[in-house]
Amino acid sequence: MPSLINLKDVHFAYPSRPSVLNGVDLSLSAGERLCLTGSNGAGKSTLFQIIVGLLHPTQGDVFAFGQSRKVEKDFHEVRRLAGLVFQDPDDQLFCPTVAEDIAFGPMNLGKSKEEAMAIVDTVLQQINMTKLKDRITHKLSGGEKRLVTLAAVLAMGPEVLLLDEPTNAVDEAGTERLVEILNELPQAMIVISHDPHFRQKIATRSLRLQDGKLFDPTPKCDHAQTDMPEAIAV
């Protein structure tokens, strides 16, 4: 099956700092829910920014949706087809109401207001959160904001979801609701998460980023040994 996202021998270093990525190979196929783990500062969020072209590798190749992506204009399509949900919802929500936040993306793509609001209704029904439609965004709880950021990305009709710590600041009930939603979505996804229980409930495959490379951990390492120190540190 062709890969939706394919990184080959990707290296990256921030100016005047040691390398963060040292030859990362990654592929994502349709229907996969790939979970990434690794210590804080390992480069997981950096990897997401490289996939959507916010950062460019110092070495290596990025292939997305059947094409090589090298320069800025190559990534315009990628940012539409790969929806990035930030770790902090407040970095992504900026409109007065939930409906306006979700409608912003479709309207930016040229949809009329009526078309955009129809998309808002469809997406909110998809995640069973129609009650939030007219709410003031900054007054939502952390878990509600997380669902609104997901809805805003879904409104763009992406083929891939990139979720950066989606359970951050979300309570247990909110996490369970998020698990249900993600397991029902048809999109392939890459999910960064420190939470081993969350990963177990959604992942079809897991990788660990360590020393600038991705490793395929055994179940024993992923669920028993590797995550225990990480959970204590977080």
What does pTM read for this prediction?
0.86
Between CA 210 and CA 44 the distance in angstroms is: 10
- Dihedral sign for Cα atoms in the order 34, 39, 41, 42: negative
Low-confidence ranges of the chain (pLDDT < 70): 1, 218-234
State the residue range of the domain holding 22.
3-233
pLDDT at 1: 61
pLDDT at 82: 95
Q: Find the CATH number of the domain harbouring 63.
A: 3.40.50.300
pLDDT at 208: 95
Number of structural domains, the chain? 1
Closest CA to 118 of 70, 155, 146, 84: 155
